[in-house]
């Protein structure tokens, strides 16, 4: 049977469509109504409350309209505040700012973002106020660094740019590492590898050099670097050396430090220019080259002899640089302070010792300047090697004298501080009774004999009766007892086992039975001599020798400390001696001045 269902389907579709359209209309109307009615009018009429007078209602309406006197009226909440939409967007903005700041610190690109928002200073806590000040300093550091890099292009010309010198000096004393680094780079770039006398815009004023010296070499009371950045210390040393027309080679065992290489003068043994090696002599007869053993005297190369003869009191420097200490060169003539410029033979070991002594001399002169021992640099005019030797000796003698010029007060103070060195220790004499186990039937039998003997000796001592054959007979079985009387032995030389047994015993005191590997022993103290502290007059010479030894050790320790905090470079020995393959060690051999 055929049934037409199309009109019913069409009617149901129309009914469903009407329902959907109706729900959409209701929702749109609800949203529009909420949008229209969302803001609450601040001046809306206060509804009348039953039981409340008209005057009170009017006052309440005025208070609601104007708010509390002196306090601004709070904006009325909206439907969006109720739904939390503004709070959501504000939180999202804060989260995005924090994420951008973290990404900016982690990634190596991108411009710096403004600091995080902090409350006003008058409303901020002490922690937030301090953080705000730190953020301001950090934000201004990059600006200052860029300004210093720009000023470095023009240098410190007093004619064209008179304010640049003060700006670069202030940058050297800044708290931020970025600013100090830019200031050191600006000072270094102003010299450009030339002598400051040839570079009119060089930033090498006296106060800039002083600050560069503090950044490069300064240490505090705890022997820690004043400048924590190794990079700034390196660049400060390089800038200081260029300001003083002295190249520096920064050699260090620290792998984090980058080496700064120098250009060697023409003809230097380690350069490409050919130079005959020390230790190679020409035979005028056979015209052959002979190598001399490193343990025998070596004939210096003729060119080096000419350099030494050229270096007189009128000469200012020698181009032959053997080593550098904190940028200060050590030339060949510095090794021949004592024997003059005409000594032609020197052994390899002596050559090394003289280099080490010259290094120590440079370190001592620098330390003397630091401690204000040397008042004026005019003292170093003339032939510097001779004057430096005298000043180094005077500086060491003032700190740690080795001769009889040590004041008597220092000797007495040493005598009082170290009484154990000048005290004659007390002596002790004892009697030992040994009961060996092998002379008795068993160890227990020997033990019984030892206990009985110790009791008999104590009893005899208490009754003032001598310990003789009577006491031994009362003990019985005395054939195995061995009696030994010692000489007077200093207390610090008494054997450890005996010393512990008789340490607290008076004269005539008897120890307990002491078990040893061979059997048992009993000790009786026969006499004691008290220790005696000698007076100062009797030990003056000993005190002098002890102080001299202590000062000698103090000298070594001071030089070791100075070497550890210094920057060294030494010419390798293989470039000077044909038969030597080992380079001179940097700061490992301690040659003492005035040893």
pLDDT number for residue 7: 45
CA trace torsion 225, 231, 232, 236 (10° rounding):
100
Measured distance CA(204)–CA(246) in Å, rounded: 13
Please give the pLDDT value at position 183. 92
Report the first-to-last Cα separation within the chain, whole angstroms: 135
% of the chain beyond a pLDDT of 70: 58
CB atoms within 10 A of CB 252: 14
Q: What is the pLDDT of residue 170?
A: 92
Question: For residues 446 and 480, is the Cβ–Cβ distance under 8 A?
Answer: yes
Predicted local distance difference test score (pLDDT) of residue 115: 55
What is the structure's pLDDT at 172? 92
pLDDT along the chain (595 residues), means of 10: 44 46 60 51 41 43 44 71 83 85 67 60 75 82 89 82 89 91 90 55 85 86 85 87 54 38 39 30 32 30 35 40 80 68 61 84 83 58 65 81 76 80 79 84 86 82 50 47 72 78 83 87 84 79 84 88 81 53 34 33
- Helix boundaries (H) for 107-125: none
Contact in structure between 172 and 183 (CB atoms under 8 Å)? yes
For the stretch 461-510, pLDDT in tens is 665 444 444 444 444 445 557 677 777 777 777 787 788 888 888 888 88
CA dist 339 to 196, 306, 333, Å?
Answer: 36, 16, 11
Question: Tokens for 144?
Answer: 């200052």
**b/e 510-549 (16+ beta carbons within 10 angstroms → b):** bbebbeeeebbbbbbbeebeeeeeeeeeebeeebbebbbe
Neighbours of 156 (CB within 10 A): 28
Q: What is the DSSP string of 352-370?
A: HHHHHHHHHHHHHHHHHHH
Residue 553 CA neighbour count, 13 Å, CB half: 5
The predicted pLDDT at position 19 comes to: 53
Domain boundaries, the chain: 135-243, 280-402+565-575, 426-530
Q: Look up residue 259 and give its two tokens.
A: 């080496």
Cα 545 from chain centre: 35
Q: Residue 360: which residues within 8 A CB-CB, separation 6 or more?
A: 392, 559, 590, 591, 592, 593
Per residue in 342-352, pLDDT tens?
Answer: 444 567 777 78
Q: Does CATH number 3.10.50.40 belong to domain 426-530? A: yes
């Amino acid at each position: 049977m055929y049934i037409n269902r199309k009109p019913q389907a069409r009617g149901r579709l129309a009914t469903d469509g009407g329902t959907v359209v109706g729900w959409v209309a209701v929702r749109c109307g609800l949203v529009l109504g909420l949008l229209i009615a969302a803001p609450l009018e601040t001046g809306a009429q206060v509804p009348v409350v039953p039981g409340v007078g008209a005057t009170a209602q009017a006052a309440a309406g005025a208070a609601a309209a104007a708010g509390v006197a002196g306090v601004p009226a709070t904006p009325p909440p909206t439907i969006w505040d109720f739904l939390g939409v503004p709070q959501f967007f504000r939180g999202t903005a804060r989260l995005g700012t924090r994420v951008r700041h973290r990404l900016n610190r982690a990634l190596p690109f991108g411009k710096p973002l403004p600091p995080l928002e902090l409350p006003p200073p008058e409303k901020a806590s002490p922690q937030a106020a301090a953080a705000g000040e730190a953020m301001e300093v950090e934000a201004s550091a990059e600006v200052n660094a860029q300004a210093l890099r720009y000023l470095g292009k023009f240098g410190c010309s007093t004619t064209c740019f008179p304010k640049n010198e003060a700006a670069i000096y202030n940058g050297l004393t800044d708290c931020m590492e970025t600013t100090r680094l830019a200031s050191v780079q600006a000072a270094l770039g102003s010299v450009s590898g030339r002598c400051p006398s040839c570079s009119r815009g060089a930033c090498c004023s006296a106060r800039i050099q002083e600050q560069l010296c503090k950044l490069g070499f300064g240490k505090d009371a705890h022997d820690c670097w004043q400048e924590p950045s190794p990079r700034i210390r390196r660049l400060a040393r390089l800038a200081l050396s260029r300001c003083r027309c002295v190249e520096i080679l920064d050699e260090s065992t620290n792998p984090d430090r980058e080496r700064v290489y120098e250009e060697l003068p023409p003809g230097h043994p380690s350069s490409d220019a050919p130079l005959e090696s020390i230790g190679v002599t020409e035979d005028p007869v056979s015209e052959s080259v002979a190598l001399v053993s490193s343990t025998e005297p070596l004939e210096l190369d003729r060119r080096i002899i000419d350099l030494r003869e050229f270096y007189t009191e009128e000469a200012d420097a020698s181009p032959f640089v053997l080593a550098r200490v904190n940028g200060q060169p050590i030339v060949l003539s510095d090794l021949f302070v004592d024997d003059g410029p005409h000594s032609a033979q020197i052994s390899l070991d002596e050559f090394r010792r003289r280099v080490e002594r010259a290094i120590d001399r440079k370190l001592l002169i620098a330390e003397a300047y630091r401690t204000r021992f040397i008042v004026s640099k005019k003292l170093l005019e003339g032939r510097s090697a001779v004057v430096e030797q005298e000043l180094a000796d005077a500086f060491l003698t003032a700190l740690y004298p080795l001769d009889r010029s040590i004041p008597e007060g220092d000797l007495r103070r040493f005598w009082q501080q170290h009484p154990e060195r000048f005290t004659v220790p007390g002596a002790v004499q004892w009697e030992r009774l040994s009961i060996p186990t092998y002379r008795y039937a068993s160890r227990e039998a020997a033990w019984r004999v030892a206990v009985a003997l110790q009791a008999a000796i104590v009893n005899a001592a208490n009754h003032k009766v001598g310990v003789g054959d009577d006491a031994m007979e009362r003990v019985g079985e005395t054939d195995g007892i061995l009696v030994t009387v010692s000489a007077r032995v200093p207390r610090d030389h008494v054997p450890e086992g005996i010393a512990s047994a008789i340490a607290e015993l008076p004269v005539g005191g008897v120890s307990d039975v002491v078990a040893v590997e061979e059997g048992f022993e009993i000790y009786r103290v026969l006499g004691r001599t008290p220790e005696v502290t000698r007076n100062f007059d009797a030990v003056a010479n000993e005190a002098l020798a002890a102080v001299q030894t202590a000062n000698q050790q103090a000298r070594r320790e001071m030089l070791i400390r100075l070497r550890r905090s210094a920057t060294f470079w030494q010419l390798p020995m293989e470039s000077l001696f044909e038969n030597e393959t080992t380079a001179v060690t940097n700061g490992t051999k301690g040659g003492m001045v005035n040893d």
